[in-house]
Structure 1
């Protein structure tokens, strides 16, 4: 997905503002299993996935708990680092080789002061990330594993073909055996 498409999905910008923003963005590539972000470390960048899939997870009691997947067109950001300039909570691992767009947070915040359109784009970006977090919390608190699986099938069907079942089971908050049962019931 092109950087223009990604930026416009967040909030359309006038061409001059988009050019200014794109001047601070560079393309990078990383191999499968690369750790893009590490819990407890400050991350001074916002990334956008051009190609590939990433997962966010936290480690607890010697096991990883996946709580988010990102694929083409999606931002990858540690909000704790982005908002507070503090170390983040999450680990971000690449599940496939990824091409990404990389934007230094410091440069982005400078642009917020220089261009009201980019500042509004940044507000929409933060609002979208907040809504994603809210939806995740509500899903975890009020939906069954079956409902979460159906949501995943509806919203991100490609993940089921591209991501290990162990990561999907972790994301749903169940064991792989339970996931196998759910998948068998749905056939």
Structure 2
């Protein structure tokens, strides 16, 4: 997905504003399993996924708990770093070779002060990230693992073909054995 499409998914900018923003965006590529973000570190970038899949996870003493998957067109951001310049709690691992667009947070903040359209775009960006987080929390609190798996089937079916079952089970908060049972039940 190209950067224009990704930016427009957040909010459509006037051409001049979009051109100003795009001057600060570059493209990077990283291999599968690359750790894009580490927990307990300030992340001074925002990433947009051109191609590939990533997962956000938190580590416990026993294992990693996956709580989000991102794919083409989505944004990767540590909101704690973005908003407060403080270390985030999440780690981001690439599950495929990825092509990403990268934007320095400091450059974006400067643009907020220079262009009201970009400032409003940034507000929409933060609002969409908040809604995404809210949906994730509500799903975890009020839906069963079966319902969450069905949501994945409906809303992100490509993930089920591209992501290891262990990561999907972790995302659902269940074991791989339980995931196998769910998959058998649905078939």
Q: Give the TM-score normalised by structure 1.
A: 0.99
1:14-53 to structure 2, matched below 5 A, reads 14-53=14-53
In the other structure, the counterpart of 2:136 is 136
Structure 2 CA distance, aligned partners of 1:88 and 1:61? Answer: 18
| Aligned counterparts, 1:45-84, within 5 A | 45-84=45-84
Matched, 1:174 2:160: no
Aligned residues: 187
Cα offsets for 1:22-79 (capped at 9, x unmatched): 0000000000000000000110000000000000000012200000000000000000
Q: CA deviation at 1:163?
A: 0.1
Deviation sequence 1:74-114 (CA, Å, 0-9, x none): 00000000000011100000000000000000000100010
Partners of 1:9 and 1:141 in 2: CA distance = 28
Structure 1: which 5+ residue stretches go unaligned?
Answer: none
Q: Secondary structure at the match of 1:39?
A: coil
1:100 aligns with 100
Runs of 5+ in structure 2 lacking a partner? none
Secondary structure at the residue paired with 1:28? strand
**Distance in 1 of aligned mates of 2:39 and 2:98:** 20
TM-score by length of 2: 0.99
